Structure 1
Amino acid sequence: MKTCGRVFFHNARRLAAHKFTFTEVRYLSAQPKAESNIEVGSLSEIQMSVAKHLNLKTHLPSPLSKQMDTLGELVTLIRDPMMEIASCMRVVDKTLPALRLVLWGAFGTGKTVTLNQAVHHAYTNNWVIVHLRSAMDLTRRVKEIEMSSFVPGRINDPSNAVAVLQNFKQQNQHVWKTLGELFTERDYEWSKSERTAQGKPITEIIEMGITAPFLASDCVGALFRELRRHAKDGKLKALVAVDDANSLWGKTLVKRADRTYAPPSDLTLVVHFRRLIANDWTNGCVLMVADKKEVADARDELGVSRHTPLELFGEEGFEFVEPFLPIETTNYTESETNTLYDYYVRKNWLASKSARTEEGRKQLMHLSAFNPYYYERLCAFN
């Protein structure tokens, strides 16, 4: 398995841009591995109460959410990418810039599942979690808009802003008391009648945005600003997990007053998330997924799918997220499919007699071409 240090050396050019010294690189690679209850190739169960707490039913891929409902439990396979992420999270320190990781790989190889496993790992280690289900929600699934009163030309998105704050509140109940003991650095004047004074708990910003949707977009920005500041001070560690992160530099379906499509840089929430994934703060980890949904054409049956970070983020996005550590998700190995097959047999997920034979086991492997998504779908219908 790759170690954090090896990936750092592999990306020496990016490290130079990041202003890491070789002493810091040696420090990262020499860190002892902390004890962990996760092991490559093993099945890990997330308690249903925790899954509900982290809102995983909404954030996981639809087939896995349905499987969770049917089996009454959430069990996932621990693979190399997750171990790599856990290894990197262990070396996060308030003296080093936020570590940025990009999950990339072909369709169905487990990028979103790995992202959610990392969110659970952050939860078990009492990190603050900022988890965006999909960056496309901010650019393509916008129900209502209003113009910002703070920045001319900036477009607010009240409904998505409230959803971000509500999700943050739900996922961070395990550290809510700690967040309530962290105070604002300055006064925030939301409107003529609404304000949050300096020295107030930052949880008041969250409550303000949830109860007043027309202020929610600005509350998201203030919350992210305070989280970055407190992380720098060593008062918290934060995981920023963004699925379909390349969509922050993609197309939008939001129209200006002149009926032209607004670029992502005009959307308030996109700007706030871009600032959050920048590496100008410390004591945090930014985990992004590069997914081809942003650029793929479902009607193109002949084109070769693009899934590398450079192709998916584009020149502007790639320059913004550099330096980062690329972590590729791949197809299953034979031992991984065997582990899942045995689990499906035990849980009676495989219903047909032919599928529960040795010949059926081999056919499922090869018909799916060891692709995690297709393997699960074949098992669900056999």
Structure 2
Amino acid sequence: MKSSGRVIWSVSQTVGCRRIGIVGSRHLSTEPNIQKNVEVGTLQEIQMSVAKQLNMKNHLPSPMSKQMETLGELVTLIRDPMVEIASCMRVIDKKLPTLRLVLWGPFGTGKTVTLNQAVHHAYNNNWAIVHLRSAMELTRRVKEIEMSSFVSGRINDPSNAVSILQNFKQQNQHIWKLLGDLLTEKDYEWSKSERTMQGKPITEIIEMGITAPYLASDCVGALFRELRRHAKDDKLKVLVAVDDANSLWGKTLVKRADRTYASPSDLTLVVHFRRLFANDWTNGCVLMVADKKEVSDARNELRVSRYTPLELFGEEGFEYVEPFVPIETTNYSESETDKIYKYYVNKNWLASKAARSEEGRKQLMHLSAFNPYYYERLCAFN
């Protein structure tokens, strides 16, 4: 298993999913089954109604969310990582294990933006979307806990579980009718009085969890189980998009009754998402972001950089998610900064006269060191 992961690492950096078979090229179909593609170097506008449905205001980095509100539109630059992700999604097949992709790179190079572009791409092509804003919400930002009645010692997280179900319902309105036609495989007995019978629409699981928070953690697990099963049966394709995914193997701030910190494997929602990462199901794509905020301040440029998947996932997490295709995000090229600069000028995002001059264009480019985050921040204040 380890050797295949290393082969993928070395090959995919040079040729990507467009050329290699990932899990054996002779078994991999290269016929595109996704009709709507993306083109590198283009500025893509996401309709505000779609951005609202996909809840991008909460999933995008806060500076871009504020920019979206100010300009009244959401425009992003399609870069090489997104094109490679789209290429990988084109070769998803019901006969092949779930394809796992890891976005990695230095702070501010567009990992979260690329993740949201992939979610929009899945929306355009009628995929089911399981999108988690940050895995750290399951390990560090837990408001309330309760002990699981199904697994001894397991800790449920009702608040986050309800949020996951609500977000799933909102983001998947484009295929809600299809989800309503997919039926449960077995009876689910949530409590002595609540149950979902075999042959009921899986949307009933979602509604059950939203209306009964104390059942929500178990409903998330049942929903994920049904999605994997129906994907295997070629009823739908599923994109699992998780930001800060390495935090599923990081530290937690959840305490047990004896005041010791629980491990991630003790948390019900963490276990459910880890099962989605497993490659024991087909017709899906798992897109993970490896971010160093789990181990250090992402903006700390004085310490030695730690942002490769092996360093961030740790030995346990790395062995769990491999083999995977690593996709690196990098700083802008000069042509990319020019495209963004022209867009900002046309939208009057650059307010000062100096910033709109040729000298100002060059200064913004070099002061930001071509880093997308710092470039946007400099443009916002000029």
Q: Please classify the TM superposition score into its range, dividing by the shorter chain length.
A: over 0.9
SS of alignment partner, residue 374 of structure 1: helix
Q: Which residue of 1 aligns with 2:88?
A: 88
Contact 1:7/1:325, CA 8 A, preserved across alignment: no
Q: Deviations over 1:215-245 (max 9, x none)?
A: 0000000000000000000000000000000
* Residues 307 and 201 (structure 1), Cα distance of their counterparts in 2 relative to 1, 3 Å cut: same
Q: d(CA) in 1 for partners of 2:262 and 2:301?
A: 30
Q: d(CA) in 1 for partners of 2:315 and 2:46?
A: 38
Q: Which residue of 2 aligns with 1:318?
A: 318
Q: d(CA) in 1 for partners of 2:36 and 2:101?
A: 20
Q: Deviations over 1:58-77 (max 9, x none)?
A: 00000000000000000000
* Residues 380 and 304 (structure 1), Cα distance of their counterparts in 2 relative to 1, 3 Å cut: same
Q: CA deviation at 1:303?
A: 1.7
How many residue pairs align between the two structures?
Answer: 369
SS of alignment partner, residue 348 of structure 1: coil
SS of alignment partner, residue 315 of structure 1: helix
Unpaired segments of 5 or more residues in structure 2?
1-13
Q: Which residue of 2 aligns with 1:330?
A: 330
* Residues 71 and 2 (structure 1), Cα distance of their counterparts in 2 relative to 1, 3 Å cut: farther
Q: Which moved more, 1:366-375 or 1:301-310?
A: 301-310
Pairing 1:4–2:17 present: yes
The one-letter amino acid paired with 2:26 is T
Q: d(CA) in 1 for partners of 2:361 and 2:300?
A: 33
The one-letter amino acid paired with 2:91 is V
Q: d(CA) in 1 for partners of 2:20 and 2:250?
A: 28
Q: Which residue of 2 aligns with 1:220?
A: 220
Q: d(CA) in 2 for partners of 1:22 and 1:348?
A: 48
Q: Which residue of 2 aligns with 1:130?
A: 130
- TM-score scaled by length of structure 2: 0.94
Q: Which runs of 4+ in 1 moved over 2 A?
A: 5-8, 30-38, 297-302
Q: d(CA) in 2 for partners of 1:299 and 1:345?
A: 28
SS of alignment partner, residue 314 of structure 2: helix
* Residues 33 and 191 (structure 1), Cα distance of their counterparts in 2 relative to 1, 3 Å cut: closer
SS of alignment partner, residue 356 of structure 1: coil
Pairing 1:254–2:281 present: no
Q: d(CA) in 1 for partners of 2:298 and 2:46?
A: 34
Q: d(CA) in 1 for partners of 2:35 and 2:224?
A: 31
Counterpart mapping for 1:356-367 below 5 A:
356-367=356-367
Q: Deviations over 1:118-147 (max 9, x none)?
A: 000000000000000000000000000000
Q: Which residue of 1 aligns with 2:346?
A: 346
* Residues 192 and 311 (structure 1), Cα distance of their counterparts in 2 relative to 1, 3 Å cut: same
Q: Which residue of 2 aligns with 1:56?
A: 56
Q: CA deviation at 1:57?
A: 0.3
Q: CA deviation at 1:250?
A: 0.2
Q: d(CA) in 2 for partners of 1:160 and 1:4?
A: 34
Q: d(CA) in 2 for partners of 1:181 and 1:32?
A: 26
Counterpart mapping for 1:1-382 below 5 A:
2-6=15-19, 8=21, 20-24=23-27, 27-28=28-29, 30-31=30-31, 36=36, 38-297=38-297, 302-382=302-382
Q: CA deviation at 1:300?
A: 6.5
Q: d(CA) in 2 for partners of 1:170 and 1:281?
A: 24
Q: CA deviation at 1:3?
A: 3.7
Q: CA deviation at 1:39?
A: 1.4
Q: CA deviation at 1:320?
A: 0.2
SS of alignment partner, residue 262 of structure 1: coil
Q: d(CA) in 2 for partners of 1:23 and 1:74?
A: 40
Contact 1:187/1:196, CA 8 A, preserved across alignment: yes
SS of alignment partner, residue 262 of structure 2: coil
Contact 2:18/2:87, CA 8 A, preserved across alignment: no
Q: Which residue of 1 aligns with 2:7?
A: none
The one-letter amino acid paired with 1:109 is T
Contact 2:36/2:125, CA 8 A, preserved across alignment: no
Unpaired segments of 5 or more residues in structure 1?
9-14
Contact 2:107/2:299, CA 8 A, preserved across alignment: no
Q: d(CA) in 1 for partners of 2:280 and 2:102?
A: 17
SS of alignment partner, residue 375 of structure 1: helix
SS of alignment partner, residue 75 of structure 2: strand
Contact 2:138/2:270, CA 8 A, preserved across alignment: yes
Contact 2:158/2:217, CA 8 A, preserved across alignment: yes
Q: CA deviation at 1:31?
A: 3.7
Q: d(CA) in 2 for partners of 1:113 and 1:120?
A: 11
Q: CA deviation at 1:23?
A: 1.6
Q: d(CA) in 2 for partners of 1:88 and 1:244?
A: 21
Q: d(CA) in 1 for partners of 2:203 and 2:99?
A: 25
The one-letter amino acid paired with 2:39 is E
Q: CA deviation at 1:213?
A: 0.2
SS of alignment partner, residue 355 of structure 2: helix
Q: d(CA) in 2 for partners of 1:60 and 1:266?
A: 29
The one-letter amino acid paired with 2:381 is F
Identity of aligned pairs, percent? 83
Q: d(CA) in 2 for partners of 1:300 and 1:224?
A: 36
Q: Which residue of 2 aligns with 1:12?
A: none
SS of alignment partner, residue 141 of structure 1: coil
Contact 2:18/2:84, CA 8 A, preserved across alignment: no
Q: d(CA) in 1 for partners of 2:379 and 2:241?
A: 29
Q: CA deviation at 1:310?
A: 0.2
Q: d(CA) in 1 for partners of 2:231 and 2:336?
A: 37
Q: d(CA) in 2 for partners of 1:5 and 1:67?
A: 33
Q: d(CA) in 2 for partners of 1:35 and 1:181?
A: 24
Q: d(CA) in 2 for partners of 1:113 and 1:101?
A: 15
The one-letter amino acid paired with 2:359 is E
